[in-house]
Amino acid sequence: MKLSWSTSIFRTKYWTQCQPTRRPISLTAEDRLHARFTRPTPSPTFEDAGLRPLLAQAVYTAFPNVKKPTEIQSTLISNVSQGKDIILQDETGSGKSFGLVLALLNKPRMIFTDDMKGDQKRDRPAITSLVLVPHRDLAFQMLHWIDSITQASNVHPPPLSSIAQVLVREGRRHISEGIPSIRNEPPHILIATPASVLEVLHEDPNAIHLEELSTVVFDEVDYLIETLPLNHKPNKSHIQKIKKIRDHPGPARSLLDQIYGEPSNLKSEKGESPRDPPFHRPQLILSSATIRRQLKYYFFSERQLLDKNTVKLRRAVMRLHGQDELARDELAIRSLISHHVLVASEDGIVNIPSAIKAEEKQLSPVDFDEPNSGPLDATTSPSLDRIIDATAASRSIEFSITPSPLNQNLLEAIAAVFALDVPSVALLVIPPNASVHRAVYDLREMGVDALGMDLLIQDRGRSYLLQADKTHNANPKLLVCTSSSIRGVDFPSLTHVFILGYEALIAKDNWTLTLDTYIHLCGRVGRFGKPGKVITVVDKEGVSRIDKVLHTLDISPVRLHALENEA
């Protein structure tokens, strides 16, 4: 039986809305009590926000900590239902992606009626929404949320593949392996990287009917679509960079052109815009914590894909120098994160000279013993440990005979703070050109239980990390990755982000992107009211550069308690 909160028939120009199907929801007695007595009545519920009651109930069952929508989620859900184009900008970890997933699940399923031979007609479900994400881990995170909701929606839940599918490059699996599944059973929601969609369309142009889509979402849009800061007096190098982006558009720009038409075809000969009926144009949703002016300029002016009717859902994000004014209370969530910088050298590890004492910043002490409000219970996974051991062993001979290119002083500083301060799971972000496997090897030699993010390829590893850990773990883990694979990812049990050297922040030789990279790396902690620490470890040369980043973002680094007795 298909899970559909509502069914609709789309036939070239018109919709016929059918009655929503009523289905029982498997709520435990405890859930019912919780729903009856603890859901705050005066605040809007997900049902008030427009979520179908059965879907809302499934959300409460799957995620007991999710009791009501945030203000932005409420507005988002109603605007998505109305088919509006939306720019969604809120802080990292404020529930944008989660809200989007709910809003898309809530949309009526697209069903096309095909004319067959004679007078016969055939209903054909189509992909309703295409969600574009920068990397596979974010795709699987969304799928995990949808799976949990689907499982909670019915005693006999429908196959997940009918609700959502993921299309990404994964290990040795060829992307074309996903084509039969998409063709035979088009999901309500397809979550994909732009490159994988293009690759599939190249192999089979009929695998995904872009012209039938109802909604297209660009999550982490500023990462997917490269733009340069607006510059009224561009120099030669700036002009060259613009030309390069235009001549060699990335996969997201190319896909945008395929879905919405090339910029040169924007107006017909009669001067009609593609926004005018009868042209079917999918609703466009852009989401990120960091959407800068140049990206808005691209969508509004250069491509004319958005206009004054676009709904802008926005709370101020971190102060972006010279652009965004920030109200004090809107920084509240940020105060949950403390920022630290350590300088590591042959002489030892010290706090950066500009670091202030925690009291001066009026930081409340970071208490990681607070119960974690993540969605699921913790499970320790013995088989995950076996995967880690096997992966580490496979490279150890090679690495044991070659000197490490990584700065060992920085790694040792991270290993020391990790041992003293991390209760369960921490993240280490290394420079883009550094080897994750090598960093994992070096850290394991220092006694750290490190693992590469690519372990998420394994299902066990993925579910382990996506679950919340309510207790201190006897064997804390350090996840190693580069900044490119971490945008938007939500690890409920994460408490610390380590950044290995200033180089880990450098993005495409672009200062604005470097600032945004810092914001997004920090954003892996301090999510939805949980505390977190960001610890950047630099060598002496990196001090002034990281100081400049923090100063621009109006962040004061705080002395790290773990090193309080330093000389």
Ligand X SMILES: Nc1ncnc2c1ncn2[C@@H]1O[C@H](COP(=O)(O)OP(=O)(O)OP(=O)(O)O)[C@@H](O)[C@H]1O
User: Which residues would be at the binding site for ligand X (CB under 6 A)?
Assistant: 65-66, 69-70, 73, 90, 92-98, 289, 375, 488, 490, 492, 523, 527-528
| Secondary structure letter of residue 22 according to DSSP | P
Closest to ligand X by CB, 136 vs 559, is 136
* Contact by Cβ (8 Å): 364, 431: no
* Contact by Cβ (8 Å): 126, 185: no
Minimum Å gap between C-beta 499 and ligand X is 16
Q: Which residue is nearest to ligand X (CB)?
A: 95
How far apart are alpha carbons 200 and 183 in whole angstroms?
Answer: 11
Minimum Å gap between C-beta 227 and ligand X is 18
Closest to ligand X by CB, 75 vs 92, is 92
Closest to ligand X by CB, 79 vs 94, is 94
Closest to ligand X by CB, 7 vs 92, is 92
The owner of tokens 């301090």 is 526
Minimum Å gap between C-beta 492 and ligand X is 5
3-state secondary structure of 238: helix
Phi, psi of 329 (to 5 degrees): -65, -20
Q: How far is CA 262 from CA 70, 130, 193, 256, 259, in A?
A: 37, 19, 20, 8, 9
Closest to ligand X by CB, 4 vs 94, is 94
Phi-psi region of 370 (alpha: psi -120 to 50; beta: other; left: phi over 0): beta
Minimum Å gap between C-beta 95 and ligand X is 3
Closest to ligand X by CB, 399 vs 528, is 528
How far apart are alpha carbons 18 and 7 in whole angstroms?
Answer: 6
How far apart are alpha carbons 267 and 265 in whole angstroms?
Answer: 6
Closest to ligand X by CB, 44 vs 423, is 44
3-state secondary structure of 501: coil
Phi, psi of 82 (to 5 degrees): -80, 0
Minimum Å gap between C-beta 509 and ligand X is 24
Closest to ligand X by CB, 375 vs 532, is 375
Report CA 80 to chain centroid distance, whole Å: 19
C-alpha R_g of the chain: 24
Minimum Å gap between C-beta 174 and ligand X is 29
Residue 515, amino acid: L
3-state secondary structure of 156: coil
Q: How far is CA 526 from CA 378, 490, 517, 519, 532, in A?
A: 19, 11, 16, 11, 5
Minimum Å gap between C-beta 453 and ligand X is 15
Minimum Å gap between C-beta 149 and ligand X is 11
How far apart are alpha carbons 273 and 250 in whole angstroms?
Answer: 25
Minimum Å gap between C-beta 88 and ligand X is 9
3-state secondary structure of 220: coil
Residue 243: CB atoms within 10 A of its CB come to 10
Minimum Å gap between C-beta 164 and ligand X is 15
Closest to ligand X by CB, 90 vs 442, is 90
Closest to ligand X by CB, 90 vs 454, is 90
Closest to ligand X by CB, 66 vs 337, is 66
The token pair that represents 196 in the structure block = 């994988």
The token pair that represents 564 in the structure block = 């309080």
Minimum Å gap between C-beta 466 and ligand X is 9
Burial of 202 (0-12, 13-18, 19+ CB in 10 A): exposed
